[in-house]
């Protein structure tokens, strides 16, 4: 089973614009979608669509609309009750796929709610092959919470993936190696946050066919105890680095419609591949196929297995 934690879930409202966004102008939309979101929930949705047992953990009131959305999708979940409503995030998608996100901070969690979430997560981890900690932390949650959760989960034998940014990411790295996860999924900006590299240089070099700077940056994290670093690089694909080697994946050709959920879909693809016993290059292949499929879908739609183009992902051994 794959267990995901989303401490700051959201109702994701996505509006597709009929023309490029212009500040201060009046715009009309061609479509609007509303779905349960948050990075961990997205991972759970993708794994559920693939037929893998999942459990999404989140704070939410029993009558919160996000739970109605999860029920409609038949995604299993467990909650820690919350009095305030889950936040609503707005995404504006332009015709060329350019995505603008406007995210609310989310309701503040008190110390008791934070402790109950951690307790529930540890209980669920007893039956989990993977636990995925994803997304931002809401107000009231200490920046080093993910680091503490990784340490608390480690004795239970499950594998742990972390996908976060900014203060929680830096706090996690400050506690490597005891808090080093089995999978860390940064994008180019987050990889730069961790290693001091320039994010534009990392992505531009990879797009030009030279992912060595990304590999070197990721390898420095593996040297600090991270099991695998999968750095997603947008149209340049992704790099996977483990103690055994490094690989670059070039994505299949797609028409970009929305980047919402692409990174989460990549995490789900990697974890699904690992549960199937695939080797590192094929784990990366499935991850990039899932991320690309998500980017080809409009709004907040997430991919099903039949929408993948795995054969068109090109894997290169780079170290």
Q: What is the predicted pLDDT for the residue at 65?
A: 96
Q: Which residues pair with 59 in a beta bridge?
A: 80
- Contact (Cβ atoms closer than 8 angstroms) between residue 197 and residue 219: no
Query: H/E element holding 36?
Result: strand 29-37
Q: What is the predicted pLDDT for the residue at 93?
A: 85
| Residue 255: other Cβ atoms inside 10 A | 8
Q: What is the predicted pLDDT for the residue at 89?
A: 92
Q: What is the predicted pLDDT for the residue at 260?
A: 84
Q: Has 112 been annotated as catalytic?
A: no
Q: What is the pLDDT along the chain (319 residues), one digit of tens a residue?
A: 999 999 999 999 988 899 999 989 999 988 888 899 999 999 999 999 999 999 999 999 999 999 999 999 999 999 999 999 999 999 888 888 788 889 899 999 999 999 999 999 999 999 899 999 999 999 999 999 999 999 999 999 999 999 999 999 999 999 999 999 999 999 999 999 999 888 888 888 888 889 999 999 999 999 999 999 999 998 899 999 999 999 999 999 998 888 889 999 999 999 999 999 999 999 999 999 999 999 999 777 899 999 999 999 999 999 8
Burial of 39 (0-12, 13-18, 19+ CB in 10 A): buried
Task: Please give the class, per CATH, of domain 2-317.
Answer: alpha beta
Q: Which of 151, 120, 118, 135 is nearest to 44 (CA)?
A: 135
Q: Which of 37, 33, 4, 50 is nearest to 287 (CA)?
A: 50
Q: What is the predicted pLDDT for the residue at 99?
A: 82
Q: What is the predicted pLDDT for the residue at 182?
A: 98
Query: H/E element holding 242?
Result: strand 238-242
pTM: predicted TM-score of the whole model, two decimal places: 0.94
Q: Could you give the CA distance from residue 196 to residue 174 in angstroms, rounded to a whole number?
A: 14
Q: Among the options 64, 163, 182, 264, which is catalytic?
A: 264
Query: H/E element holding 264?
Result: helix 262-275
Q: Where are the domains of the chain?
A: 2-317
């Amino acid at each position: 089973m794959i267990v995901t934690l989303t401490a700051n879930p959201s109702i994701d409202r996505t509006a597709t614009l009929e023309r490029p966004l212009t500040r201060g102008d009046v715009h009309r939309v061609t479509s609007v979608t509303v779905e349960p979101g948050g990075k961990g929930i997205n991972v759970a949705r993708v794994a559920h669509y693939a037929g893998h047992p999942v459990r999404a953990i989140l704070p939410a009131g029993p009558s919160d609309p996000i739970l109605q959305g999860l029920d409609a999708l038949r995604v299993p979940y467990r909650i820690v009750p919350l009095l305030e409503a889950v936040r609503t995030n707005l995404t504006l998608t332009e015709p060329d796929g350019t995505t603008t996100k406007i995210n609310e901070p989310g309701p503040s969690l008190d110390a008791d709610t934070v402790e109950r979430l951690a307790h529930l997560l540890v209980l669920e981890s007893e039956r989990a092959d993977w636990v995925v900690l994803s997304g931002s932390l809401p107000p009231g949650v200490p920046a080093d919470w993910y680091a503490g959760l990784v340490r608390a989960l480690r004795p239970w034998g499950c594998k742990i993936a972390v996908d976060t940014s900014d203060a929680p990411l830096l706090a996690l790295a400050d506690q490597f190696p005891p808090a080093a996860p089995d999978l860390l999924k940064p994008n180019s900006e987050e990889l730069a946050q961790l290693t001091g590299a320039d994010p534009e240089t990392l992505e531009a070099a990879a797009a030009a066919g030279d992912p060595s700077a990304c590999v070197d940056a990721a390898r420095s994290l593996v040297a600090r105890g991270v099991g695998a670093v999968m750095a997603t690089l947008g149209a340049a694909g992704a790099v996977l680095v483990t103690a055994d080697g490094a690989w670059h994946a070039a994505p299949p050709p797609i028409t970009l419609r929305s980047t919402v959920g692409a990174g989460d879909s990549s995490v789900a693809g990697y974890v699904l591949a690992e549960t199937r016993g695939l080797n590192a290059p094929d784990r990366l292949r499935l991850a990039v196929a899932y991320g690309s499929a998500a980017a080809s879908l409009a709004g907040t739609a997430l991919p099903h297995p039949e929408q993948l183009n795995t054969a068109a992902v090109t894997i290169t051994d780079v170290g």
